[in-house]
Structure formats: structure tokens, C-alpha cells
Amino acid sequence: MRRVCFLLKVRADRLDEYRRAHDEVWPEMLEALSRHGWTNYSLFLRDDGLLIGYVETPDWDAALAGMADEPVNARWQSEMKDYFESLEGVNPDEAMRPLDEVFHLA
């Protein structure tokens, strides 16, 4: 199992809306994530907009590729992209870059 952590930046003026959007993630989105190997998926949001994502998956590239083929993901990413800063013309899921893991206490 690979542990993946990534950072994104939520716009300061959209923090409350972003939190509310995750109060009830669409059931079909949750099912697609599970089907493509996204487990222990968590998002943490700091008051300045720093978003830390964490997920465990057997294969990060396969997890991303599987979601890229899901129509529900395209709809979700379209809804989410305006919440973020500095996406440089890509959807949020395309901007996720795993951080290097330097320590893990099992």
C-alpha cells in the first residue's frame, strides 16, 4: 500500500463553501473513489487555505487513471476547480503532486 500526501491551495474567500461542499460528497463519487483503490482518503484544511490531502492506494497512477475515466469525477472536478488557487489550467485532481515521504512510524 502506498501512502500519498499532496498539497493544494483553496482560495481564502471560498473556505467555508469548500468545507460545505465536502459535508455531503456525492455517493457516486465516493463509490468511484473506492472502486479505484482510494482508501483512508482525508482532506485537511488550514485557515489560510492550505489543503493537505492524504490517501492510501496500491497504485497511485492507476488510482488517478481510473478516476480520470469516471464521468462523475469530471463533474466533481468541474464543480471544485473554482475553489482553488494556482491550478494553471488543470483540474484539481490533475494538480495533485505527491510529496516525498521521508519518515513513517508503523
* Of 19, 22, 35, 46, catalytic: 22
Q: Are 5 and 103 in contact (CB under 8 A)?
A: no
**pLDDT tens digits for range 31-85:** 999 999 999 999 999 999 999 999 999 999 999 999 999 999 999 999 999 999 9
Q: What does the DSSP 8-state code read for residue 30?
A: H
- pLDDT of amino acid 86: 78
- pLDDT of amino acid 24: 92
Can 22 be counted among the known catalytic residues? yes
Helix (H, G, I), strand (E, B) or coil at 20: helix
Distance between CA atoms of residues 82 and 10, nearest Å: 9
What confidence tier does 89 reach under pLDDT thresholds 50, 70, 90?
Answer: confident
Nearest Cα to 41, choosing from 56, 60, 23? 56
- pLDDT of amino acid 55: 98
Kindly state the cell numbers that stand for 62.
492507476
Class of domain 2-94: alpha beta
Q: What does the DSSP 8-state code read for residue 28?
A: H
Kindly state the cell numbers that stand for 28.
457516486
**pLDDT tens digits for range 1-42:** 999 999 999 999 999 999 999 999 999 999 999 999 999 999
- pLDDT of amino acid 88: 80
